[in-house]
A = this chain, B = another copy of it.
Amino acid sequence: MHACHQHEKMCVSLVPIFNHLETEQMAEIMKTAKSGTFKRGEIIYHAGDKSDSLYILNKGKIRIYRLSESGKEQLVRILHPGDFTGELALFKEETHESYAEAIAMTQICMINRTDLQELLLKYPSISIKILTEFSNRLEEAERQTTRFATEKAETRIAVFLAECLEDQGQFNMLELPMSKKDLASYLGTTPETISRKLADLQHKGYIRQISNKKIEVLDLDGMLLI
């Protein structure tokens, strides 16, 4: 862990919450940032750790997951370069509730809580960017909660496929962004159920499984009407 140098210059400019600033202002932020690298499998923070940094993912992939009251794991999201985490606890003097695990060789920048709070007061437009990001996340989280509360596994899977398709914009082809084990954890079900429901969807003619991760959607509207 050392002060940010040349290539970390990228890091701040990668992130939507900062990259609207003047180059000069980004430079000011970078002065306060630290960087770090993690190997596959290393934990960046644990639930219960006191949280005091914003982590910006520069390179690699990070898995964010939580444990429920009874100890079961749920995958919350996977971070890609330009995403950030650790943001929640920045605004309350508390601890992380989730775990962040590097799932590939990973490089991050860290901005300290107090430094960030000063930045926010100095550049109010950063706050508005973060508020926008939080709004989206909150909307997304509530939509997800409603989905779990009201839809059965098959529908959750179908909706997930539809969203993949939309994100990837590859007309009818999509690539699952994670293993089916992780997908099961993300969707609140089991790998067995994922396998079976995908087989069902294929059997009903809505999709075709090309390979382990590649799926062709044959009838999007039909699939979503399940």
CA distance A135 to B89 in the complex (A): 7
A151 CA / B188 CA spacing, docked (Å): 9
**Given A91-B128, A92-B132, A134-B131, does the pair A148, B151 have CB atoms closer than 8 Å?**
no
Measured between C-beta atoms, what is the minimum distance from A114 to chain B in Å? 13
Identify A76's interface contact among B128, B132, B146, CB under 8 A.
B146
Contact A69/B117 with A88-B138, A98-B142, A138-B134 known, Cβ cut-off 8 Å: no
Give every chain B residue within 8 A of A125 (Cβ-Cβ): 121
Point out the residue from B73, B128, B141, B187 that lies within 8 Å of A141, measured CB to CB.
B141
Nearest B residue (CB) for A76: B142
Docked complex Cα distance between A73 and B150 (Å): 8
Interface string of A134-170 (1 = CB under 8 A from B): 1111110111111111110001000100000000000
Interface size on A, residues (CB 8 A): 50
- A73–B151 Cα gap in the complex (Å)? 10
Contact with B along A49-93 (1 / 0, CB 8 A): 000000000000000001111101110100000000001111110
The one of B134, B137, B139, B188 in contact with A149, judged by C-beta atoms closer than 8 angstroms, is B188
Interface of A is mostly: helix
Once the chains bind, are B142 and A66 in contact (CB under 8 Å)?
Answer: yes
Q: When the two chains form their complex, are residues B72 and A135 in contact, meaning their CB atoms are under 8 A apart?
A: no
Q: In the complex, what residues of B have CB within 8 A of residue A134's CB?
A: 91, 131, 134-135, 138
Shortest C-beta distance, A51 to chain B (Å), equals 11
Task: Assess whether B128 is in contact with A68, with CB atoms less than 8 Å apart.
Answer: no
Contacts A72-B151, A134-B138 supplied; 5 other A-B pairs, CB < 8 Å:
A66-B142, A88-B138, A92-B135, A141-B142, A149-B187
- In the complex, 7 of the A-B residue pairs with CB atoms within 8 angstroms, ordered by the A residue number, are A66-B142, A68-B151, A69-B159, A69-B224, A88-B135, A124-B124, A144-B145
